[in-house]
């Protein structure tokens, strides 16, 4: 085994379909694991990831995610993250709390900038200040207004309050919480506003001590900066300061159930939807252990629910028991377990059982009769497309690799087990071709013979908001103390926090945040190859780029001949164009057709201004495009 900078190189694998080498290293002293997708991409990405399974719904993982970015040992500013974001040439910089992990990714095209980001982020996660005022600012505190009324405040508290006022969010959360009862997934890692104020400062500090040690850290790297250079950096800056610590145990196994259940869960109500529930049927499919199992589950989910013409979506819509397929329907692949949900929103409470029956009857019919060839082809096409498509969606494509790698890696399965999708896709396609009853047998195994399932009815409860208010006001009363005896103490704390927040960081502190110099930046900008011609009378622009064999077509129609009144109807037209049938085809049939041959059709609206000396001329005042 090769040793370098305190690391053992555990394995080096060639990932031909990803044009990368996978270098897997483990830090000898602390056990910190690093996986580098080494390739020739100049957009390098790193992510510090920690397994952070919650034991309650106080949102401690989420509050910590916010708080570590509020100053650290070498960057003791109030908000280094903000300063860094302003002066870096990053292409991505964020932090996310998942139900079982917290991830801090960043990327840049400029090497010096990349290491600056890695330095500040690493210092934040391993050596944060976590002062009491940070906990009170980001987590929760009781604050008094001028007339002495006390309320609970806090950045995460208020963020989650917003989340918990959305009926769809609550309904979505319960697809997982019900089926994984008895595991950390029963709790809300983001925080339930009715529980967040229970979190103490000591618990918060302990959570960091337990879960942010390198023994529980997985570092994902992507791009062309040599592995050795990055390992040396990680060792010198951070890991050499740590000694051994006990490993964090894996996420507890879900107790197996043999009887299905029905649960009624209250959700927030608005005046006009007091009768409308969201009804899901949820299943536990199995463990996220390897890419093939995930691919099989993805295939079945795509066949059943991939588009409005897919058999289960079609049956749910045709039942007319609800307004639409519930937005959280589908497969969950980011947790230790694969979970599947199907359901409807806008259902009358007395129809809830009928929704369950519709789903079960449809699955029984599929298990018996199989799936039409067209539906199979559409599902395979769609999976192939979503696997191959290189897209930037709120960040670099490497984020997708990071998420895929962490799926299994977070649960001890090794980083490339869930990263590589082509071999898994080929294996699943071969099974599909070799066994005509393949999908039927999966439907039987996962749904019909598997009683680890719940029918969850989330209903609007008029008292939902009132109960939360009562609970919060009791927290505020407790904080005020008997007869308001803590009132003065609270006022002093409040003043203290305001003083810290209002005092700007000194110039000396601001100067600690590293920045790139002009010499670090490339002198040339990247150009997109363009070939400008005509197709008949229509100007045609072609860009030849590496897209994994996918062709993107966009037809732009100028709309500047419309009147200002007609402009108001454009958003409606854009939405209608891609959400109703085509000539001679119903919506269900046209969505099936589009799923079989395209990666999806969209009709976005673009405002535009005339650009002189450009050929072909940019339409003068806005376009509507059809793309797919
Ligand atoms: Zn947040």
The per-residue DSSP string of 319-346 comes to: TTSSSEE-TT-EEE-SSSEEEEEEEEEE
What distance in Å separates the CA atoms of residue 361 and residue 37, rounded to the nearest whole number? 45
> Catalytic site residue 138?
yes
What distance in Å separates the CA atoms of residue 472 and residue 483, rounded to the nearest whole number? 18
Note the pLDDT tens digit of each residue in 236-288.
999 999 999 999 999 989 988 999 999 999 999 876 656 799 999 999 999 88
How large is the angle between the packed helices 60-67 and 201-211, nearest 10 degrees?
Answer: 80
Ligand 1 centre to CA of 87 (Å) is 22
> Catalytic site residue 259?
no
pLDDT at position 626 is 57
Note the pLDDT tens digit of each residue in 111-167.
999 999 999 999 999 999 999 999 999 999 999 888 888 999 999 999 999 999 888
Beta strands 7-15 and 20-27, pairing class = antiparallel
Note the pLDDT tens digit of each residue in 476-519.
998 888 887 888 888 999 999 999 999 999 899 888 888 888 88
pLDDT at position 466 is 92
Ligand 1 centre to CA of 98 (Å) is 11
Report how far apart, in Å, the C-alpha atoms of 313 and of each of 286, 301, 329, 515 are: 23, 11, 9, 51
Catalytic one of 33, 43, 138, 296: 138
Q: Are 7 and 236 in contact (CB under 8 A)?
A: no
Helices (H), 88-224: 111-126, 132-138, 155-163, 167-177, 201-211
Q: Are 72 and 124 in contact (CB under 8 A)?
A: yes
Note the pLDDT tens digit of each residue in 382-435.
888 887 777 777 789 999 999 999 998 998 888 888 888 888 999 999 999 999
How large is the angle between the packed helices 111-126 and 227-237, nearest 10 degrees?
Answer: 40
Provide the greatest CA pair distance for the chain: 84
Q: Are 306 and 377 in contact (CB under 8 A)?
A: no
Q: Are 328 and 283 in contact (CB under 8 A)?
A: no
Lowest mean pLDDT among 55-69, 207-221, 291-305: 291-305
Q: Are 578 and 601 in contact (CB under 8 A)?
A: yes
Catalytic one of 65, 143, 292, 332: 65
Ligand 1 centre to CA of 94 (Å) is 11
In 501-553 the beta strands, taken as DSSP E runs, fall at 531-535, 538-542
Ligand 1 centre to CA of 101 (Å) is 14
- Total residue count of the chain as it appears in this document: 628
Ligand 1 centre to CA of 159 (Å) is 6
- Domains of the chain are 2-140+211-250+490-510 (3.30.830.10), 261-461 (3.30.830.10), 531-627 (3.30.830.10)
Per DSSP, the residues of 571-592 read: HHHHHHHTTS-BTTB-HHHHHH
Long-range pairs, 437-444, Cβ under 8 A, ≥24: 437/370, 439/299, 439/300, 439/303, 439/366, 439/370, 439/371, 439/376, 440/366, 440/367, 440/368, 440/370, 440/371, 442/296, 442/300, 443/300, 443/363, 443/366, 443/367, 444/367
CA 604 to chain centroid, in Å, comes to 24
Ligand 1 centre to CA of 81 (Å) is 14
Q: What residues have a C-beta under 5 A from ligand 1, the ion? A: 159
What distance in Å separates the CA atoms of residue 576 and residue 395, rounded to the nearest whole number? 29
Q: Are 317 and 325 in contact (CB under 8 A)?
A: yes
Ligand 1 centre to CA of 399 (Å) is 19
């Amino acid at each position: 085994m090769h040793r370098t900078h305190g690391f053992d190189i555990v394995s080096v694998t060639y990932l031909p379909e990803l044009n990368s080498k996978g270098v897997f290293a483990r830090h000898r002293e602390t056990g910190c694991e690093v996986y580098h997708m080494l390739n020739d991409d100049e957009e390098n990405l790193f992510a510090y990831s920690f397994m952070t399974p919650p034991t309650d719904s106080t949102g401690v993982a989420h509050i910590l995610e916010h708080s570590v970015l509020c100053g650290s040992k070498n960057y003791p500013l109030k908000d280094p993250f903000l300063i860094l974001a302003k002066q870096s040439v990053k292409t991505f910089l964020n932090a996310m709390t998942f139900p079982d992990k917290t991830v801090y990714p960043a990327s840049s095209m400029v090497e010096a900038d990349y290491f600056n980001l890695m330095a500040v982020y690493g210092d934040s996660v391993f050596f944060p200040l976590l002062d009491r005022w940070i906990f009170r600012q980001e987590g929760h505190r009781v604050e008094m207004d001028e007339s002495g009324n006390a309320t609970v405040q806090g950045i995460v508290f208020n963020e989650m309050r917003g989340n918990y006022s959305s009926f769809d969010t609550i309904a979505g959360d319960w697809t997982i919480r019900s089926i994984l009862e008895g595991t950390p997934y029963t709790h809300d890692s983001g925080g339930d506003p009715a529980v967040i104020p229970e979190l103490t400062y000591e618990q918060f500090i302990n959570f960091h001590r337990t879960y942010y040690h390198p023994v529980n850290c997985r570092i994902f790297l992507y791009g062309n900066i040599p592995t050795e250079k990055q390992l040396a950096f990680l060792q010198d800056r951070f890991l050499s300061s740590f000694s051994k610590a006990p490993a964090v145990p894996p996420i507890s196994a879900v107790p197996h159930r043999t009887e299905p259940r029905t649960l009624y869960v209250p959700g927030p109500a608005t005046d006009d939807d007091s009768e409308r529930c969201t009804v899901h049927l949820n299943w536990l499919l199995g463990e996220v252990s390897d890419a093939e199992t995930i691919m099989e589950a993805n295939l079945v989910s795509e066949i059943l629910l991939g588009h409005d013409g897919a058999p289960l979506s079609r049956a749910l819509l045709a039942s007319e028991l609800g307004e639409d397929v519930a937005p959280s329907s589908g497969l969950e692949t980011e947790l230790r377990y694969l979970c599947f949900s199907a359901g409807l929103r806008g259902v009358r409470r007395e129809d809830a059982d009928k929704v369950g029956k519709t789903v079960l009857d449809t699955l029984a019919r599929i298990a018996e009769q199989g799936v039409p060839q067209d539906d199979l082809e559409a599902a395979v096409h769609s999976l192939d497309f979503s696997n191959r498509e290189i897209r930037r969606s709120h960040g670099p494509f490497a984020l997708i690799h990071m998420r895929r790698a962490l799926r299994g890696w977070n649960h001890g399965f090794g980083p490339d087990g869930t990263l590589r999708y082509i071999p898994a896709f080929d294996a699943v396609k071969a099974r599909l071709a070799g066994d005509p009853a393949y999908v039927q047998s999966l439907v039987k195994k996962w749904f019909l013979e598997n009683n680890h399932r719940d029918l969850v009815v989330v209903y609007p409860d008029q008292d939902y908001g009132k109960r939360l208010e009562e609970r919060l006001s009791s927290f505020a009363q407790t904080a005020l103390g008997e007869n308001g005896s803590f009132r003065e103490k609270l006022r002093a704390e409040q003043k203290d926090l305001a003083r810290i927040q209002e005092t700007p960081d000194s110039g000396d502190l601001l100067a600690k945040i590293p920045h790139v110099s002009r010499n670090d930046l490339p002198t040339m900008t990247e150009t997109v190859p363009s070939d400008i011609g005509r197709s008949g009378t229509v100007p045609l622009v072609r860009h030849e780029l590496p897209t994994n064999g996918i062709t993107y077509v966009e037809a732009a129609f100028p709309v500047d001949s419309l009147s200002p009144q007609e402009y108001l109807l454009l958003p409606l037209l854009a939405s209608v164009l891609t959400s109703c049938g085509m000539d001679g085809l119903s919506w269900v049939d046209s969505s099936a057709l589009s799923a079989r041959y395209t990666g999806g059709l969209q009709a976005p609206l673009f405002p535009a201004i005339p650009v002189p000396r450009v050929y072909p001329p940019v339409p003068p005042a806005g376009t509507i495009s059809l793309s797919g």
